[in-house]
Amino acid sequence: MKLTFRWYGDEDPVKLEYIRQIPGMKGIVSAIYDIPVGETWPLEAIWSLKEKIHKAGLELSVIESVPVHEDIKLGLPTRDQYISNYQQTLRNLAEAGVQTVCYNFMPVFDWTRSALNFRLEDQSTTLIYDHDVVQAMNPLKGELKLPGWDTSYEDETLSELVNQYGQISEEHLWQHLDYFIQAIIPVAEDVGVKMAIHPDDPPWSIFGLPRIITNRENLERFLRLYDSPYNGLCFCTGSLGASKENDIPAMLRHFGGVGRVNFVHARNVKITGDKSFREVAHLSEEGSIDMYEVMNALYEFGFDGPLRPDHGRMIWGETGRPGYGLYDRALGAVYLNGLYEGIAKSYREPSVQHKYNAMVGNERGQER
């Protein structure tokens, strides 16, 4: 397991030198944010990002994300040019030594929440999702802006996009994803870049738009599109764990066991109702996901890829990008690393119970 941390570049209030001080932290998850979606990423810009991270004593472990242009998701005739640009971006990333790329196939809207600063009992603030509140929002009137989103769409363009998706069913979206995968994965294989699709967040339809990367059955269908270790998953415990139907440790063991988990987002959520949840501290007792079993599963199938503590609360008076503060994510990183170390040692050494059984057996033998 390679511990990594999300960094949003020079505009991020969390500095690289602070991230470097987190025990066990080696890698950075980042992207180039000033290139319009669909255009090829210049090699020079990639090298510049990598060198900046390297000078801070860290490495560029994952690019998250290379966004997929909406014309590809819609299956428009213009998609081939955007796919060609995407292929060249992968070649450029590989030339700069990047080995993992995370992306998603969510129509129009990326991860979605109903509130960014919900105050918990301990007075920290967190991201929450209330389905009724979200469904009452009108995203076409600027009522939905979240950190990390692409906000380059004007209201008129956004409205046109949503209308176009009115003609797109889930099966259409599957066909368009398949078309994209058939074109992208051979290039990824050729240059040695592992692709990792991020689950839909939340894992159900919003605003009437189709969403398909949501559960075990659909993840299996996705992986069958192209049977290759380079066509893998970004297994996000928080996104998938927002649904009561998803058994996170079991799913992780299954997909990890077949070698298709290329990246892990470790986040805990507390399910508060049907299609409602709040993000909490990483500790198992805080949320609905057993993080011990998550880390145990990673150790069992020998996961050696990048993992990052995902969204955290805003604690100790920290301000900035909601969900992406330094303090709680740093605590999460240390907690996850500690769990992993303890699990690893328990596998390598006889358990206390085994030692006790051996001792009792020897004593009984001596008595006889």
Residue 104, classed as helix, strand or coil, is coil
- Contact between 6 and 236 (Cβ < 8 Å): no
Q: 290, exposed or middle or buried, with CB in 10 Å at 0-12, 13-18, 19+?
A: middle
160 φ, ψ (degrees, to nearest 5): -65, -40
Strand partners, 126: 118
Q: Is 30 helix (H, G, I), strand (E, B) or coil?
A: strand
Strand partners, 197: 103, 233
Annotated catalytic residue within 69, 176, 265, 282: 265
Long-range contacts of 204-207 (CB under 8 A, 24+ apart): 204/243, 204/275, 206/109, 206/112, 206/134, 206/135, 207/108, 207/109, 207/135, 207/139, 207/162
Catalytic-residue membership of 54: no
Catalytic residue among 324, 328, 335, 340: 324
Active site (annotated) includes residue 311: yes
Sequence-distant (≥ 6) Cβ neighbours of residue 284 within 8 angstroms: 268, 290, 291, 292
Candidate list 310, 328, 335, 340, residue with the active-site label: 310
Pairwise CA distance, residues 119 & 259, whole Å: 39
Which of 198, 230, 234, 335 is catalytic? The answer is: 198
List Cβ neighbours of 178 (8 Å cut-off, separation of 6 or more).
225
Q: Active-site residue 282, yes or no?
A: no
Tell me the backbone φ, ψ of residue 289, rounded to 5 degrees.
-110, 130
Beta carbons within 10 angstroms of residue 309's beta carbon: 27
What DSSP designation does 207 have? T
Cα(111)–Cα(202) distance, integer angstroms:
7
Catalytic residue selected from 71, 102, 311, 335: 311
Residues 290, 296, 301, 302: what is their CA dihedral angle, to the nearest 10 degrees?
Answer: 130
CA distances to 84, 207, 222, 261 from 197, in Å? 19, 22, 9, 10
User: Annotated catalytic sites, by residue?
Assistant: 198, 236, 265, 310-311, 324
